[in-house]
Amino acid sequence: MPRKLCNEEGCKSEARGISGKCIKHGGGPRCTEPDCKSRAYNKHGKCVTHGGGPRCTEPDCKSGAIGKTGKCLLHKGGYRCSEEGCESSAIGKTGLCKTHGGGYRCTEPNCQKSARGISGKCVKHGGGPRCSEPNCNASVQSNGGKCIEHGGIPRCNEPDCKKISIGKTGKCFSHGGGPRCSYPNCKFGARGPTGKCASHGGGPRCPNCIDWIDSRVGCSKYDGYCATCFKRIFPDDQRSKVIYTHTKEIMVRNAINLNFEGFIHDTALYTGNCDCTHRRRIDHRKLIGNTILAVETDEFGHRKYDQKDEEIRYDDLYMIHSGKWIFIRFNPDDNISKTDIDDKIDKLIETIENCILRIENNENTELLEIYKLYY
């Protein structure tokens, strides 16, 4: 008996049941859930989404298992993308995930994004469900049938804030929504699975300074490196030429080198047998007897720096060098004082000279002295 094909125009799949259609176009048993038109699996009478068919074997997971793996797509069930290093699910017969070209592509000229629904277009070009508001062609962002602009996603409940709320908090990331940093007394949002904010080690770290206690967040723009490390490692790269450099810190360095000898600039401070847990950097430092004279160029007055972190930094440095310390914190900007930068540097040189004289005369009796210029 010849195989009966689906009666949808251009479809060559086999028809199921008396409907004359294939499973994709509505043939065969349908899910018994109200308003659901998906295919029912086995004797459950329900589709995969509503509990039909085998379930994922991962603990507490209720999603449907894909293929013979016994796991859902999220837990790496079914076929994986064939791109090296990609763990996403392969779409269709391509062997690739959507990101790498699997599944249907948008029919708009020169667009390589994934098509949504039967439109043959990506979301940007009109594919997928559209917002139900009159004259709005934006993409639907929730079960409510509306786009972001028309309330498709819950908004932060802080006054005048239009950002998207995260989780059950009713607030956006900036106002306390989502997981918070696990570092004591830190109120910033956690980045990634680390449980910490970017300042305390959360999010993707720069591979060059990842083991440093003051490591920085890596940036895709700089191939995963932080801007500072990228500029140092790849100085000839075109991207390095437009990275902001601490020009005022360089100006201070030049002035110190012109007037003094032996100052070390922007180099990590190690113990004799460093286990890489205290790689703190100081802008300018010099060891005189048992005292380290440190000069920090605090551009913009370090207004965004956490005071608690600054105190911890002093403690960490003291663990590396348990002798005496003198810190000169120098603000080169005019946000507080309107003094000319040349006059500021003259005052800094004078202060350094006085500190060196005090150290040489053993007049610095405290373990830690901090002088702040132009704060």
DSSP per-residue codes, 134-198: TT--PBP-STTS--TTTTSSPBP-STT--SBP-TTSSS-TTTT-SPBP-STT--SBP-GGGSS-T
CB contact burial 47-56 (16+ within 10 A = b; e otherwise): bbebbbbbbb
Query: Does residue 108 sit in the same domain as residue 67?
Result: no
Q: Is residue 182 part of a domain?
A: no
Last residue of one domain, picked from the residues 243, 274, 298: 243
282 and 325 in one domain?
yes
Query: Residue 304's pLDDT is what?
Result: 47
Q: What contacts 202, CB < 8 A, 6 or more positions away?
A: 181, 190, 191, 192, 194, 195, 196
pLDDT tens-digit readout, 280-307: 678 899 999 999 999 998 875 445 445 5
Do 138 and 38 share a domain, yes or no? Answer: no
Report the CATH number at residue 255. 3.40.1350
Residues 259 and 317 in one domain: yes
CA–CA distance, 352 with 259 (Å, rounded to integer): 10
Q: Which of 153, 183, 218 is the last residue of a domain?
A: 153
Which residue's structure tokens are 């043959």? Answer: 120
Element (H, E) at 296: strand 291-297
Domain-embedded: residue 265:
yes
Task: Please report whether residue 166 resides in a domain.
Answer: no
Is the distance from CB of 152 to CB of 144 less than 8 angstroms?
yes
Residues 368 and 262 in one domain: yes
Could you tell me if 237 and 255 lie in one domain?
Answer: no
Statement to judge: residues 351 and 251 lie in one domain: yes
CB-neighbour burial class of residue 302 (10 A; exposed 0-12, middle 13-18, buried 19+):
middle
In this predicted structure, what is the pLDDT of residue 114?
81
Report yes or no on 190 lying in a domain.
no
299 shares its domain with 338? yes
User: Is residue 139 included in any domain, yes or no?
Assistant: yes
CB 295 within 8 A of CB 252: yes
Q: Tell whether 262 and 339 lie within a shared domain.
A: yes
Domain membership of residue 192 (yes or no) is no
Helix (H) or strand (E) holding 342: helix 341-360
Backbone conformation region of residue 65, classed left if phi is above 0, alpha if psi is from -120 to 50, else beta: beta
Q: What pLDDT shows up at residue 208?
A: 85
- Indicate whether 189 belongs to any domain: no
Both 12 and 116 in a single domain?
A: no
Whether residues 135 and 47 fall in one domain: no
Rounded to an integer, what distance in angstroms lies between the CA atom of residue 250 and that of residue 53?
Answer: 66
The pLDDT of residue 143: 62
CB atoms within 10 A of CB 138: 15
Listed residues 189, 217, 243: the one ending a domain: 243
- As averages over each run of 10 residues, the pLDDT of the chain (375 residues) reads 76 79 79 81 76 82 79 80 79 78 83 79 82 82 71 79 78 82 80 75 81 74 85 86 71 89 79 48 88 85 53 67 88 72 90 95 92 86
Alpha carbons 195 and 282: distance in angstroms, whole number: 28
Are 363 and 251 contained in the same domain?
Answer: yes
- DSSP states of 232-293: HH-TTSGGGGGS---HHHHHHHHHHHHH-SS-EEEEEE--TT--SS--EEEEEEEEETTEEE
Provide the residue range defining the domain that includes 18. Answer: 1-26
116-to-9, 105, 133, 213, 263 alpha-carbon distances in Å: 20, 9, 20, 45, 62
Report how many domains make up the chain: 5
